[in-house]
Structure 1
């Protein structure tokens, strides 16, 4: 599990940015990869009315804080850099020569647009790029690992990249992989009283089969990884947010075709990023 490309993380001087930096350092160590931490000075950022203009910002204080945080956890394979421009655009440009992009869920405003901004803007920028990992401020770097990676499964070819990422991480950390397929029932479903066997929930059976077909091939590639699966009738955000309470990471695909289709960074993904208790990885197919 190695790569010469760095893990890229956005820092902004906030506690949230330090939490994201800590997660990124752990991930870089797991990948045996260097870490590239970047603070982007956004000189065009609009300040709230009545806020006095800030003084000159050379980024030195932010980099010092980041360096101290890395020293505390004993991570030395890192480069710290200041850039100028639009934070989201700078990070997306740098991500083209990185293996993953990590950002905090909240902060001092620097990266909020990357996560919660225009769906079309973010989708266009990220559709063919590296995995995006969003670390919430509720994640505790000092807490013991849960030993569980959750992945949202939709059975699509495009979603296989997310499943691969989840299996790879679960295998490297010795975690259990938990595959989830969420189904939102439509009014068009036939009345159960008309079925030959009303006690047999057809959508659950179909979902279980989809999960097995998706996960079985990867299970053979990672025979040492414990795999469980769960099909449920509920809203994807509720399902994944609930599962995130006992997970180290929730992984979703960037393109889907069923209940997870909106996880292209649409309403479901944004809802999950708001409500997840653990980091969330959005992994796009390389050729959507």
Structure 2
């Protein structure tokens, strides 16, 4: 499905938690910046044993009514929060039946981006709860997915947007998003290439070559974008270490951290590996995960 980016909504998953409200705030701010409508979606995931279509038992009917009312109340509060920050913002609410992952995945089909809150749980705990929806949604979404664990850092001077660059075609959409966002917000791009340390007697020599390779890939990747956005300041950093720690630390005071879903080295594999899990659970600013269009994935494989 082709999405009209000028009218596509920003979709946010609504839950009645602090993490959910933080996601609504971020999504509302972004919708206002881009002049896009906001779609607030709450998945009514019925507990086992509750029939929400036919419930002859009057006690069950009362319970189901309360469950539905709680969902509607969460949506009303989310819309009030969004429109109170941005009067005039077009905000619709959707109460959908089903588990959060399939419900939200369906809404990404015509979305400009999907915004999720993330509770402060351990990686193992979150993956075993209904709150652990970011990983499966990220793996299959066709639009950028934003995971908001903490507020963006708006007091840093200069304001920065950090983007992970590995030099492959798969990082291009992430770089494109980062430059567009930086231009909208008057921010500085911090482009980070991560080289993992090598062992052995020739480690020092090999690392020198790795660093040079990282600098060359950064220059090649950013060349066209710096020409397209001449007013966006850019800092280039090549660092040695584990990608999760390097990117997490680089973005500690950033407006957001932007990465792609595929790539080489630490970014390989639909963000289902250690880097993806680490950034989803430990990023210290909003994390934006930008997918590679399917056509580009196919071309890259050939």
Same fold (TM over 0.5): yes
- Displacement of 1:203: 1.4
Change (3 A) 1:91 1:145: farther
Q: Which residue in the other structure is 1:233 paired with?
A: 240
Could you say what the CA RMSD is over the residues aligned between the two structures, in angstroms?
A: 2.7
Q: Structure 2 CA distance, aligned partners of 1:4 and 1:114?
A: 26
In structure 1, list runs of 5 or more residues that go unmatched: 47-52
* Structure-2 residue corresponding to 1:102: 115
Between stretches 168-177 and 262-271, larger displacement belongs to 262-271
Secondary structure of the corresponding residue to residue 158 of structure 1? helix
- Contact 2:28 2:86 (C-alpha < 8 Å) held by counterparts: no
What corresponds to 1:134 in structure 2? 147
The CA distance in 1 between the partners of 2:283 and 2:175, in whole Å, is 19
Deviations 1:44-69 (A, max 9, x none): 479xxxxxx88533322102211221
Change over 3 Å in CA distance of 1:32–1:20 after alignment to 2: same
Contact 1:14 1:107 in 2 (8 A): no
* Counterpart pick for 1:91 among 80, 90, 104: 104
Equivalent residue, structure 1, for 2:24: 21
C-alpha change, 1:111 and 1:77, in structure 2 (3 Å) is: farther
Counterparts of 2:26 and 2:48, CA distance in 1: 27
* Aligned pair partner of 2:276 in 245, 269, 276: 269
Tell me, yes or no, if structure 1 residue 221 matches structure 2 residue 224. Answer: no
Question: Which runs of no fewer than 5 residues in structure 2 stay unpaired?
Answer: 50-62, 298-302
Provide the rounded CA distance (Å) in 2 between the counterparts of 1:140 and 1:229: 21
Q: What is the Cα deviation at residue 112 of structure 1?
A: 2.3
The counterpart of 1:113, out of the listed 132, 137, 149, is: 132
Which one of 9, 12, 16 corresponds to residue 9 of structure 1? 12
- Is 1:57 aligned with 2:57? no
**Residues 17 and 244 of structure 1: is their aligned pair in 2 closer, same or farther, counting only changes over 3 Å?**
same
Alpha-carbon distance in 2 for matches of 1:176, 1:214: 17
Displacement of 1:208: 0.8
Q: Report the Cα distance in structure 2 between the residues aligned to 1:77 and 1:145, rounded to whole angstroms.
A: 30
Q: Secondary structure at the match of 2:169?
A: coil
1:217/1:64 CA distance change after superposition, 3 Å: same
Asked if 1:258 is matched to 2:265, the reply is yes
CA contact (8 A) 1:256 1:264 kept: no
Q: 2:93 maps to what in 1?
A: 80
Between the two proteins, the alignment pairs up a number of residues equal to 269
> What is the CA-CA distance between 1:258 and the residue it aligns to?
2.3
Q: Secondary structure at the match of 2:67?
A: coil
Q: Give every structure 1 segment of 4 or more consecutive aligned residues whose post-TM-superposition deviation is greater than 4 Å.
A: 107-111, 121-124
Distance 1:33 1:122 in 2: 22
Residues 94 and 212 (structure 1), Cα distance of their counterparts in 2 relative to 1, 3 Å cut: same
Q: Distance in 1 between matches of 2:39 and 2:107?
A: 10
Name 2:214's counterpart in structure 1: 207
Change in Cα spacing, 1:29 to 1:112, as seen in structure 2 (3 Å) is: same
Bigger helix fraction: 2
TM-score scaled by structure 1?
0.85
- Structure 1 residues 98 and 122: alpha-carbon distance in aligned structure 2, compared to 1, 3 A threshold: closer
Task: Answer whether contact 1:262 1:269 (CA < 8 A) is retained.
Answer: no
